[in-house]
Amino acid sequence: MGHALGSAARVLEQALARDPNHEALVTRGVRLTYGQLDELANRAVHTLFNLGVRPGDRVCASLPNDFDVVVAFHGVMRLGAIWVGINRVLADPEKHHILSDCKPTIYLTDTPLQDDQGSLVGIRIIDVDTRRTAIESASSSRWSGPDPDPLAPAGIAYTSGTTGRPKGAVHSQHNLMLPGSVLVQSRDYKPDLRKGDCFAFTILNMAVLTTLLVSQAGGTSIVMDRTDPEGIADWIKREKITTWNGAPAMLHSLVTSDSVTADDFLTLDEVWVGGADCPDAIRRAFYTKFGLPVLATYGLSEAPTVIAIDDRPSSRSHKPVAPVGSSGKPLPHLRIRIVGADGSTLQQGEAGQICISAADDRYRTMLGYLNSPEATNDVIVDHELRTGDVGLIDENGYLHIRDRLSLVIIRGGANIYPAEIERVVAEFPGINASAAVGLPDERLGERVALLIELSDGAQLNDQELATHLAENLARYKIPEQIKVIDAFPRNAMGKIQRRGLVDYFTDATR
C-alpha cells in the first residue's frame, strides 16, 4: 500500500509552526497552549525513558480525564512505546487480565490494585504524584531518539469478544492518525474547532478522536470530566465547544433535564452519537429542544474508531436529513462490502456482514489481536476486516446496522458481551448455565438482564450472587434483572438457543 501518514510522535508540529500560543488542551486541571503541551510531552518522554521504558515496550495507564493521561499518551508516542489504556471503571479482575495479557513495563494509575493473581509481577507501578514530580525535574529538550516507525505497534485497544475475555486490538501510529486526518479533511475543520469529549481518554478510540484529531486541525481539545447533564452543559457553555461526542444515555439526560436549555448549546455545530444505539425518538427530541441535528456514527476499536458518520451540517439550523435508523455514510478512505453467509458480495439494500477494506492507499487494518493469532485470522482475511456486525447500505449510501453477530449488548454507548458476564456467573456455585441479554431501554439503549438455569437441587442466594458480580464486573456490566428459569431451550448440539430469550422478561406467562 501507499506511504504512511506522519507519525503521532510529530502530530503537534504543524500546529506549533502555525501558532505555538494557540490553545491546544483544556482539562479540569489545566489550560495548555501548543507550546506548553509540546514541552510537557518532551518532559514525559524523558520521564518514561528514565523509568526504564524503551521503544516497543508497553505502558499501561488507568487515569482520570485530566492532563496527566493526555501528556503521558503523547510521551509514549514520541518514545515509540505502546500505549494501553485501562478504563478506571473496570473491576480488578478485568484489570488484572489486561495487565497479564500485555505485560507492560510500567503501570500509571491513581487507584491501588491488589496483586492477588500475580499479574503485577515485574511491572513498575507509578502513581500520579510520583509521575508529576518526575516530569517537573525531567528535561524539556526535544527527544533525540530515533523517530518511531509509523507502521509499528503503537496502541492496544482491549475489546471484548465471544470468548468472554477482552482481546487487545493492536494499532500503529499510522492507524491512530488516519481517522483524524480524514475527518479534518472531509469536514473542513479549522483552528476554531473546539472539540469536547467526555468519554474516558483511556479508551484508545478517544485518544484518536481528541488531541490526535484536533491538533491536525490546529484546534482545541477539551477533555471533559463530567457526564451528568448539568456538567456536560456547563463544559459546553463555558468552553464554547463546537463539536461534542456523546452517548445515547447522555442525550436522553440532556433532553429530559429542566436545568439544561438551548441557550447552553449556542456554540455547538455538531453532536455525534453511535447511530445503531440511539433511538430515533431521542434524536428527534434533541433536535426539537436544542435545534441541533444528532449526527449518527458507526465505529469499532478494531477499525480504529469512526467508520461512518453523517455529513456535517451546512448550518446550525440544518434539519436532520439522514434516514431513520442509519449510522452515517462510510468515510472516503474506506470500502464497505456487505457479505452474505456464503462469502458473496451482496447487492445494495441487502443485509449481511459488514466488511471493511481500503478504498485508497491510506487505510490499513489493525495489526491483529495481541497473543491471539487464530482470532486475528478469523477477522482479517485478505486485508479485509470482518466486523461481525450485520448491516446494509441503502440507495443513498447510508450504512444501517441491523444486528450483531457477536451478540453485543450496547448500554449507554458501552459494548457489553454476554460471554463476559456468563463467564463470571459460571464461577458461582449451583449454576448450570446462564445467558445475558439486552432489554430495550429508551434512555440507555439497552439494559443488561440475566437468565439462570440452576443445577439440580441448587438454591440461588441472591445477595451472594450480587456480591460475586460486583467483585468481578464493572458496574455497567452487572445485570439489572435476573430471572431463574427451569431450563434453556437448546439445539441438537446442546447449545442454548438465544432467539427469544428476551421474551422471558416481557412475557408474563413465562
CA 448 distance to own-chain centroid: 19
pLDDT in the model for residue 490: 79
Q: What is the pLDDT of residues 257-303, one digit of tens each?
A: 999 999 999 999 999 997 666 778 888 899 999 999 999 999 999 99
* Dist. CA 283–CA 505, nearest whole Å: 27
Give the Cβ contact number of residue 322 at 10 Å: 21
- pTM, two decimals, is 0.86
Task: Find where cell 449488548 sits.
Answer: 409
CATH-assigned architecture of domain 409-506: 2-Layer Sandwich (3.30)
Q: What is the pLDDT of residues 174-218, one digit of tens each?
A: 999 999 999 999 999 999 999 999 999 999 999 999 999 999 999
Answer whether 195's CB lies under 8 Å from 219's CB.
Answer: yes
C-alpha closest to that of 408 among 398, 399, 421: 421
Task: Find where cell 505502546 sits.
Answer: 82
Tell me: pLDDT of 316 over 90: no
* Dist. CA 468–CA 477, nearest whole Å: 13
Answer whether 35's CB lies under 8 Å from 20's CB.
Answer: yes
Summary mean pLDDT of the chain:
91
Q: What is the pLDDT of residues 33-82, one digit of tens each?
A: 999 999 999 999 999 999 999 999 999 999 999 999 999 999 999 999 99
pLDDT in the model for residue 277: 66
* Dist. CA 498–CA 94, nearest whole Å: 26
CA angle 167, 173, 174 (to 5 degrees): 110
Decide: helix, strand or coil at residue 21: coil
Q: What is the pLDDT of residues 300-310, one digit of tens each?
A: 999 999 999 99
Decide: helix, strand or coil at residue 63: coil
Tell me: pLDDT of 403 over 70: no
Q: Which three cell numbers stand for residue 450?
A: 440475566
Q: What is the amino acid identity at position 216? A: Q
Q: Where are the domains of the chain?
A: 409-506
Answer whether 90's CB lies under 8 Å from 474's CB.
Answer: yes
* Dist. CA 79–CA 44, nearest whole Å: 9
Decide: helix, strand or coil at residue 455: coil
Answer whether 27's CB lies under 8 Å from 65's CB.
Answer: yes
Q: What is the pLDDT of residues 354-388, one digit of tens each?
A: 999 999 999 999 999 999 999 999 999 999 999 99
Please state the rounded mean pLDDT for residues 449-457.
Answer: 93
Q: Is the backbone peptide bond immediately before 104 cis, with ω within 30 degrees of 0?
A: no
* Dist. CA 261–CA 309, nearest whole Å: 26
User: Which range has the top average pLDDT, 87-91, 213-217, 442-446?
Assistant: 213-217
Answer whether 296's CB lies under 8 Å from 275's CB.
Answer: yes
Q: Are strands 106-109 and 329-330 parallel, antiparallel or unpaired?
A: unpaired
Decide: helix, strand or coil at residue 106: strand
Give the Cβ contact number of residue 133 at 10 Å: 11
